[in-house]
Amino acid sequence: MIAPAEIVERLARVDCCALSDALDRLRIKGAVTHLPQRSGAGRIAGIAVTFRVAPGDPPPGPARHLGTTAIEASDSLSIIVVEQRSGIEAGCWGGLLTRGAINRGVVGVVADGPVRDIDEARELGFPIFTNKTTSFTARGRVVDQGTNIDVSIGDLTVSPGDYIVADNSAVIVVKPADVERVLAAAEDIAAREAAMIKSIEAGIPISEVMGGNYEHMLTEPMK
């Protein structure tokens, strides 16, 4: 069994298109394509810490600001994944949370729902992927409904402990039970693409390069 830190390190070296192709090869669902990167730069990879934001009463216990429990449950391998699909325009993440996450070593945030203070996140270089930004506070509108629970982004369910990779093409979610074979398939695909690039740079006609290798990349078994 591969250690989680090694898996994250290897995932970070593979772009989301290769991972999406690997998921296609294995007939596994795991790509969300409508959460663009709004701050930070480059691909991120990590392990999901989740929370959900919605209207209503917060869970029992001492009052806590939304997202703070998730930050304190995170470490340097964590990507915080937030569901805010209430239909109420209210931030599920903001500048102070960004600073708290940076202090904790969090890799980045993926949010299906509005995020505040995106300029502050950009100034700090903190990666956030989200489908919407807003100025509206959560106060009086929505509350944190729970940390490290199943949440939804796009048409996927993300569970705490799932592997997350995000770049400007997609957000990829891989279940721990699938990650080793998805990673192996993605690395195989990336290696084939690298060989094809060398062929193109060597002057081989692109129709030859793509007509054979590329068309069968997802159906041929790995060597």
Name the average pLDDT for the chain: 93
- pTM, two decimals, is 0.92
pLDDT single digits (tens) 174-209: 999 999 999 999 999 999 989 889 989 888 888 888
Q: What are the binding residues?
A: 94-97, 116-117
Domain regions of the chain by residue span: 2-178
* Cα distances (angstroms) measured from residue 130 to each of 9, 103, 168, 209: 23, 21, 11, 36
Reported residue count of the chain is 223
Q: What are the binding residues for substrate?
A: 94-97, 116
Residue 108: per-residue pLDDT: 98
Residues 6+ apart with CB under 8 A from 111: 35, 81, 82, 84, 92, 93, 128, 129, 130, 131
Residue 214: per-residue pLDDT: 61
Residue 219: per-residue pLDDT: 62
Fold of the CATH domain 2-178 = Glucose Oxidase; domain 1 (3.50.30)
Residue 63: per-residue pLDDT: 76
Q: What are the binding residues for Mg(2+)?
A: 117
The residues of the chain scoring below 70 in pLDDT are: 212-223
